Structure 1
């Protein structure tokens, strides 16, 4: 589908959207914790897919991994940009102001989602334990804590391309572990 999108095939783009939008929306929402902002980010993701499909290279990673990476990176960029905006404060002395605890929906996952997330965290921890400590730390820093490749390269005192190769090999090992 991505190759057809690179050629300008709108039907392939629609099919890709139908097949992947729920998963990518979940990725954006899990990072941003704000539904409207996640929806805007999802639009940006598909715009990037449409514009960048020709740059997609089949390199052993699945197309879904490429799409999730785009969604994750856009959401993190938005999250970082959000950090510089002021947050509105409600006047707590206003007797007509609603109690925030009553008006905000709970951000906590339900029991089923919590059980699934717990199982996934255990599986990821087990797979990360199979990597060497420096590799596991690098994967955690970039993919779980939001570090950039450049930040990690500076921390490790390594060239950025070496860090990319190192992370790619680590992700391939993690993929093999998760697939088992």
Structure 2
């Protein structure tokens, strides 16, 4: 789970706009691995996801001055830049990315999360993260691990099956059921 410390993403973006490289490094240090997971879920190739993340951080650096806190949270804006960079990469490489039902559900979850993140103020986001953490704690440990590996680390179902040494079908089922439980708990 991302840190729930009150890091001020808006202030960090404002500092980036003023040319403060340390602010960009702080954003990367805090969010980099999660943003890599977002890119990886979309482009499906680690090296390409790393390239997308690099390009996204260049864009964040160059466009930080265009961020408007009145239109949404800084953290949501940062995640949006990465998602758009990943989607642009997929489009520019003009290849079809086959999406199964689970993949489609994951993409829909990411879009819903992004929409939700841009509508909340930082205090509400911390409350939601606390609720999400409590909901995750209610899941069986193995299901929780699979969901964390998929959504935060960006692992494919096959990679999760290898890491957990569980059958692929079991991993897929745990993720589907776990996400259903999380949706119900968060509603």
TM-score for the superposition, normalised by structure 1: 0.51
SS of the residue aligned with 1:83? coil
The answer to whether structure 1 residue 22 and structure 2 residue 81 are counterparts is: no
Which of 83, 103, 123 aligns to 2:94? It is 83
CA distance in 1, matches of 2:83, 2:13: 19
Change (3 A) 1:78 1:12: same
TM-superposed deviation, 1:10: 1.1
**1:121–1:35 Cα change, 3 Å:** farther
Deviations 1:108-136 (A, max 9, x none): 35267754565335655x6xxxxxxxxxx
Q: Report SS of the residue matched to 2:72.
A: coil
3-state DSSP class of the match of 2:158?
A: coil
2:45 alignment partner, one of 22, 34, 47: 34
Q: Distance in 2 between matches of 1:117 and 1:72?
A: 23
Tell me if 1:119 matches 2:178. yes
C-alpha displacement at 1:59, in angstroms? 2.6
CA distance in 1 between partners of 2:178 and 2:59 (Å): 32
Match of 1:64?
Answer: 75
* Cα distance between partner residues in 1 of 2:62 and 2:22: 15
Distance in 2 separating the partners of 1:16 and 1:23: 11
Distance 2:53 2:35 in 1: 7
Aligned partners of 2:93, 2:49: CA distance in 1, in Å? 12
The runs of 5 or more residues in structure 1 that have no matched partner are 86-105, 127-176
Aligned-partner SS, 1:108: helix
CA distance in 2, matches of 1:56, 1:37: 26
Question: What residue ranges of structure 2 are gaps of 5+ in the alignment?
Answer: 1-11, 97-155, 165-170
Aligned residues: 109
Partner of 1:59, secondary structure, is: helix
Aligned alpha-carbon RMSD (Å):
3.0
Which of 60, 63, 69 aligns to 1:52? It is 63
Query: Quick one: distance in 2 between partners of 1:118 and 1:81?
Result: 34
**Structure ID, larger Rg:** 1
1:13 aligns with 2:24: yes
Residue 13 of structure 2 corresponds to: 2
**Structure 2 length-normalised TM:** 0.49
